[in-house]
């Protein structure tokens, strides 16, 4: 008696789905009162303030104490992405002139800070953990106060790169978390103004 073997194809092959990655671009102007509704304040007091040299309003932080005031974008967690912001480091405060981006924020003990400092002339990547703040990488570079800079972070897997005005200045690797929120940070008493926050992230479209 002959035996017959029947090969059953999985239903997945009969109803195959196509997964297509695409880039999602988001852009926030940070110069209207509505800006504050998009922010989740972690520390400090954020406001829309007028930059006197150009007589225009921008997002700023006004509490003056030795900490890192932070504000997060009320949105989803981001995984692999690039984020950039325009920031103005004012010379109004002579002690501290530093600000930047919050990356992959999960809680007060799990996030990264990429910030530039026009007083100490450097760009720094810092990691927060239960053990405190740790500098992962610091690069000396000349930054002048009283001008706009475009700060950009590119996060992909365990790599974080920092660009200023399109120039790659910092490249570091770390055991990064898989995702987290994006935000803004100032250092201590720094007087800083922010505008044009842009985020490009990956999304997956499923089609049959």
Domain limits for position 185: 17-203
Output DSSP code: residue 69: -
d(CA 48, CA 56): 10
Q: Is 8 contained in some domain?
A: no
Residue carrying structure tokens 């800070």: 113
pLDDT for position 76: 86
pTM given for the model: 0.85
Output DSSP code: residue 8: P
Q: Is 208 contained in some domain?
A: no
pLDDT for position 66: 60
pLDDT for position 137: 97
pLDDT for position 189: 84
Q: Is 11 contained in some domain?
A: no
Q: Is 136 contained in some domain?
A: yes
CATH number for the domain harbouring residue 136? 2.60.120.560
pLDDT along the chain (208 residues), means of 10: 47 53 86 91 93 90 82 90 96 89 95 95 95 95 95 95 97 88 92 95 63
Q: Is 98 contained in some domain?
A: yes
d(CA 105, CA 165): 24
Q: Is 9 contained in some domain?
A: no
Q: Is 103 contained in some domain?
A: yes
Burial of 106 (0-12, 13-18, 19+ CB in 10 A): middle
Q: Is 10 contained in some domain?
A: no
What stretch of H or E contains 147?
none
**Number of domains the chain contains:** 1
């Amino acid at each position: 008696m002959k035996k017959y073997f029947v090969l059953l194809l999985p239903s997945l092959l009969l109803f195959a789905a196509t997964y297509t990655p695409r880039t999602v671009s988001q852009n926030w102007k940070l110069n209207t009162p509505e800006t504050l509704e998009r922010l989740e304040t972690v520390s400090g007091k954020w406001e829309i303030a007028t930059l006197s040299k150009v007589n225009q309003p921008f997002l700023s932080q006004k509490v003056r104490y030795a900490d890192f005031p932070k504000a997060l974008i009320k949105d989803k967690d981001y995984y692999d992405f690039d984020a950039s912001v325009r920031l103005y480091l004012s010379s109004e405060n002579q002690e501290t002139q530093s600000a930047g981006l919050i990356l992959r924020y999960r809680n007060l003990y799990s996030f990264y800070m990429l910030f530039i400092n026009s007083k100490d002339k450097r760009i720094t990547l810092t990691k927060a953990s239960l053990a405190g703040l740790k500098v992962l990488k610091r690069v000396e570079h000349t930054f002048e106060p009283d001008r706009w800079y475009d700060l950009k972070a590119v996060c992909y897997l365990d790599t974080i790169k920092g660009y200023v005005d399109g120039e790659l200045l910092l490249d570091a690797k770390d055991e990064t978390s898989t995702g987290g929120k994006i935000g803004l940070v100032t250092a201590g008493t720094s007087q800083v103004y922010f505008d044009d926050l842009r985020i490009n992230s990956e999304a997956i479209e499923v089609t049959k």
